[in-house]
Structure 1
Amino acid sequence: MRHDRPTHDKHWLSLNLPPPVCGRFPEKVLSLSDDSRQVENGALFLIRPGEGFRWEFVDEALDRGASYLVADRKAFPEIDSRPALSSRIREFAGLSLVENLPRAVGQLASSWWGFPSSFLKVIGVTGTNGKTTSSFLTRSVCRAGGLPCGLIGTVVFDVGHEETEAPQTTPGAIRIQSLFAESLRNGLKSVSMEVSSHALDQDRLAGTNFSVVHFTNLTRDHLDYHRTMEAYFEAKRKLLMWENPDGSHPVAVVHTGDEYGARLAKELERDGRRVLTYGEGADAMIRPLRVDVGLSGIRGTLRTSRGEMSIDSSLSGHYNLQNILGAVGCGEALGLSMEKIAEGIHSLPGVPGRFERVDSPTGFSVIVDYAHTDDALSNLLSAVRPVTRGKVITVFGCGGDRDRGKRPRMGSVAGRLSDFVVLTSDNPRTENPESILDEIEPGLRETGTPYVRVSDRKSAIFEAIRRARPGDAVVIAGKGHENYQILGKQKIHFDDREIARLALAESSR
């Protein structure tokens, strides 16, 4: 088994692919790619029609030296209708057809890299909110328990030697398996990863062996993609009902304080799966007994399936208590001791862009958070409100080209839980920023909370900090760790934390 740069022969091809419908298997394939721009001589190229796809990409892959192609059977009539392309494939390469290309890509990639997830403890976390913090907590717990742990998620990819900025929450199937392989090569024993509903719907995790799967919650988001909440739930459900390539099932850690989580737990139990439940209900296996939640942290005693344990975390907010409970469940599922789990919880200082406090010498607090759904914003502001003696001033917007239905709902939450709101842009993308604010405004207006519209986000942050007084809290929500803003098709550098520091420096002059 190799995890550096594998190559495979035609015997491997014959074991992993149907026989060629044209051409022949090459003696050897040197790399695996589904991006024609990255094809190298001797590559196995996967034809993946989708948004932005053009058949010229297949010609480009052949020009670059692809020696074998794989396509979905449904795409064959399109290939066959292009005589020049068909002729090139027959003469210079070969072609196999598969029934479900997205699933086949994951399975091929896993085999290509030597089934790396089978040699790791992979913990997958899914849910609308809490994935990032939960995955960071789980990595910390694994490390404390003697399982060197990597991370794949929204903020960073960590495969054991350095952290790199994550281009997306859950990468493509080929990249996922290569990250697992790299993690193994670097001596890691486990990987904590966020699993998005898009990735599950698109079968990007096919071929992955999960040890633990974790469900945090489900609230409205991504309905621009999934259309209905039930379809969104079904995508998330795929991870909890996962069957590994060897036929085994991962341990499920489920938040039963969430209605969808309660449904999942019952279904899993009926199916005979091992389930660890958490929440604040008396029936949850992992639940708080005596816990204090404040701005300085979360401390107290939990009930677990193995008895009581103490926790001491620097994370803030009641919603982070839920994330801690879930991480405790993941630690239990992996067989780690309560002492090591508690050590892991304690050793995580914070998560970038998640209730991240910006140093303020002005007597008021500034908090940057990724909250970009109505539920996440409600949790965030509900955590800030009780520990703020002055006013809560909230800066937020909604992303363009995304679920429009949540916009007035977010406006309502911001108005209900803030004393003043600065309504601004998030990532407008190709939408008119003012039109987005128009759709948020009705929900905000009906609360009666005073607000201003400042579509330029930098100006909005300056405006909020200019208005703040000692004892107040300025909450900048929506982008968190992101260091960019998407305007039209252009991505520009923009970091809420940097802008907040500039505004604070100016206000203290």
Structure 2
Amino acid sequence: MKLSELLDLYSEIKIEQGSYSPDERIRFVRTDSRKLDKDDLFCVPNSSGEKGADYASDSNSRFILINSNLKIQNLEGKVILKTALDPESLAGPIASSILGNPSEKLKVIGVTGTNGKTSLTHILSYLGESQGKSCGIIGTTGVKYKGKLSDTGYTTPDPSSLQLILKEMLDAGVEYVFMEASSHGLKLGRTNGVRFQAGVFSNLTQDHLDFHPDMLDYLQSKALLFSSLSKHPNTFGVIDTDAPGGKDFQKYVRSISQDLKLFHLGKEEGEFPISKETFSLEKTSYTIRLSELWGKDTIVDTNLLGGFNVRNTALAFVTALGLGWDKQSLLNSLQSIPQIPGRFQIYYSKDRSRMAVVDYAHTPDALENILKSIRESKPNELIALFGCGGDRDRTKRPKMAKIAQDLADKVILTSDNPRTEDPEIILNDIQAGFVGEYSPFLREADRAKAIHFGISSLKEGSCLLVAGKGHEDYQIIGKEKRHFDDGEEIRKAFDSFGL
């Protein structure tokens, strides 16, 4: 892209200083100074704070876009452009323009909410592949398409990387992309420049209050996905209005996007009410009332277990119908969805008399949902093992303790990713949430030891929930990232105790 073309496309960008020719070409755009080439445009994120000035000065890039309020020095040989906006919010659209706007040639479906994003993207991708569609996933477990799997390190990648991923998917023949849209990614503008065809909202419960000043800002950040839909024709949104935060989310979306087509999922008040839920260790069944267009009351059977997977599969089913996919084929595919990494992932003892469940639940609502779902399978005893991440929202720690006390027979407290916090202080914060004389079955900061103790304590017909890390195959202690996999430790423990 020529510099002159950039200035024509984005009137909010002005050249501040530097010697340049309008015909000079900008190769690409980046928000990460470590990935810059000489002819790239460096969009210095506002989130960099005062360090942004150092990143800009030390950058080997010739073209620098900064916020109007940022003061930097050592600019010899550089072309400085300024904007009143956060430069990061422009990186996505610029990258999209340079790459030929790949998302306009794809069908991108964004999924947002506190819990369920990963499950929904995997379910939707499987349903699409079962319909003969070529599908890709972008999210917490990485980027997946055409048999390839790579890790970006973020739920929603930075705007430049995201556009490159979309371009690669397009070039590979992908048709549908199911993408987790995190509140961070939406608020920071990482998804700017992505044209979404549909948006799905699962729920909104307490999380990320170390980043968002309050729950209202959290909700409004999630709603940015739906406001982007209203800018384009033939788009739609799906909202679980019975989920926590669902009605507030629907009300806010409708206030900012009056004409956007919305489907409301709900047990009672939604236009797609759910009833007659039944649960076992083999399958989950429920009835969903569809519109006349899709055949009214429909029984859904799925191999995914638990009440929260009623919500996940119903959201995916309605979204897929909105995309025009075949109803009967969808119903068939819902019966055999592959296990989703770290989401109600079941590990049995050799004789299947004992069970462990690995789940990514790391918020109060997610922990409550997974415990209730395991309870529905009627284990003889339920032991909950969990911790809380360090350097993150501390207010949720005692809440999770109270939930575990109420819903599990025994509770084991251990470390999650303590990061730079003292693991024992984190455990103190959690334990403060227990009511009365209650004390944990075990308090052990070493997660491997805690898991082995939990497995050794399982009686016949009982279940150990190992919550918090899910698909993650690492543990962050201090600033060191060490290999650690809950599933591996569970298997080791079953083997070591001859179970």
Q: Normalization by structure 2: what TM-score?
A: 0.92
State the 1:489 CA deviation. 1.0
Residue type of the partner of 1:334? L
- 1:154-190 per-position Cα deviation (integer Å, ceiling 9, x unaligned): 1121143501134111111111111111110110111
- 1:336-381 per-position Cα deviation (integer Å, ceiling 9, x unaligned): 2212322442342220000001131252111110011111111111
Q: Show the counterpart of 2:6.
A: 13
Match of 2:441 among 442, 451, 455: 451
Q: Show the counterpart of 1:413.
A: 403
State the 1:389 CA deviation. 3.6
Looking at structure 2, the residues matched to 425 and 264 of structure 1 have their Cα atoms a distance apart, in angstroms, of: 33
Asked if the contact 1:425/1:457 (under 8 Å) is kept, the reply is: yes
Q: Show the counterpart of 2:322.
A: 333
Looking at structure 1, the residues matched to 246 and 52 of structure 2 have their Cα atoms a distance apart, in angstroms, of: 41
Q: Show the counterpart of 1:184.
A: 170
Match of 2:375 among 385, 388, 393: 385
Match of 1:299 among 268, 276, 285: 285
- 1:231-258 per-position Cα deviation (integer Å, ceiling 9, x unaligned): 21111122222246x6447311000102
Structure 1 unaligned spans of 5+: 1-7
Partner SS for 1:335? coil
Looking at structure 2, the residues matched to 291 and 420 of structure 1 have their Cα atoms a distance apart, in angstroms, of: 27
State the 1:450 CA deviation. 4.9
Q: Show the counterpart of 2:265.
A: 278
Alignment: residue pair count: 487
Q: Show the counterpart of 1:3.
A: none
Looking at structure 1, the residues matched to 46 and 215 of structure 2 have their Cα atoms a distance apart, in angstroms, of: 27
Match of 2:242 among 257, 273, 285: 257
- 1:97-124 per-position Cα deviation (integer Å, ceiling 9, x unaligned): 1221122112112212111111111111
Partner SS for 1:178? helix
Structure 2 unaligned spans of 5+: none
Partner SS for 2:190? coil
Deviates more, 1:330-339 or 1:414-423: 330-339
Q: Percent identity?
A: 33
Asked if the contact 1:37/1:60 (under 8 Å) is kept, the reply is: no
Looking at structure 1, the residues matched to 36 and 211 of structure 2 have their Cα atoms a distance apart, in angstroms, of: 30
Partner SS for 2:95? helix
Residue type of the partner of 2:340? V
Asked if the contact 2:158/2:190 (under 8 Å) is kept, the reply is: yes
Match of 1:320 among 309, 312, 315: 309
State the 1:206 CA deviation. 1.0
Relative to structure 1, is the Cα distance of residues 508 and 119 closer, same or farther in structure 2, using a 3 angstrom cutoff? same
Q: Show the counterpart of 1:460.
A: 450
Relative to structure 1, is the Cα distance of residues 47 and 253 closer, same or farther in structure 2, using a 3 angstrom cutoff? same
Partner SS for 1:378? helix
Asked if the contact 2:286/2:310 (under 8 Å) is kept, the reply is: no
Q: CA RMSD in A?
A: 2.1
Looking at structure 2, the residues matched to 214 and 446 of structure 1 have their Cα atoms a distance apart, in angstroms, of: 41
Partner SS for 1:50? helix
Looking at structure 1, the residues matched to 195 and 338 of structure 2 have their Cα atoms a distance apart, in angstroms, of: 30
Q: Show the counterpart of 2:195.
A: 209
State the 1:268 CA deviation. 4.4
Relative to structure 1, is the Cα distance of residues 108 and 397 closer, same or farther in structure 2, using a 3 angstrom cutoff? same
Q: Show the counterpart of 2:153.
A: 167
Looking at structure 1, the residues matched to 453 and 264 of structure 2 have their Cα atoms a distance apart, in angstroms, of: 44
Asked if the contact 2:238/2:315 (under 8 Å) is kept, the reply is: yes
Match of 1:428 among 418, 441, 458: 418
Residue type of the partner of 1:491? K
Q: Show the counterpart of 2:331.
A: 342
Partner SS for 1:402? coil
Q: Show the counterpart of 1:360.
A: 349
Asked if the contact 2:45/2:52 (under 8 Å) is kept, the reply is: no
Match of 2:53 among 52, 55, 64: 55
Asked if the contact 2:240/2:264 (under 8 Å) is kept, the reply is: yes
Match of 1:130 among 103, 116, 137: 116
Looking at structure 2, the residues matched to 20 and 67 of structure 1 have their Cα atoms a distance apart, in angstroms, of: 13
Looking at structure 1, the residues matched to 8 and 214 of structure 2 have their Cα atoms a distance apart, in angstroms, of: 39
Asked if the contact 1:395/1:476 (under 8 Å) is kept, the reply is: yes
Looking at structure 1, the residues matched to 498 and 267 of structure 2 have their Cα atoms a distance apart, in angstroms, of: 43
Residue type of the partner of 1:211? Q
Looking at structure 1, the residues matched to 305 and 17 of structure 2 have their Cα atoms a distance apart, in angstroms, of: 60
Partner SS for 2:264? strand
Partner SS for 1:223? coil
Asked if the contact 1:125/1:194 (under 8 Å) is kept, the reply is: yes
Looking at structure 1, the residues matched to 405 and 447 of structure 2 have their Cα atoms a distance apart, in angstroms, of: 18
State the 1:130 CA deviation. 0.8
State the 1:506 CA deviation. 0.5
Asked if the contact 2:384/2:410 (under 8 Å) is kept, the reply is: yes
Looking at structure 2, the residues matched to 365 and 186 of structure 1 have their Cα atoms a distance apart, in angstroms, of: 40
Asked if the contact 1:240/1:264 (under 8 Å) is kept, the reply is: no
Looking at structure 2, the residues matched to 409 and 369 of structure 1 have their Cα atoms a distance apart, in angstroms, of: 18
Q: Normalization by structure 1: what TM-score?
A: 0.91
Asked if the contact 2:199/2:225 (under 8 Å) is kept, the reply is: yes
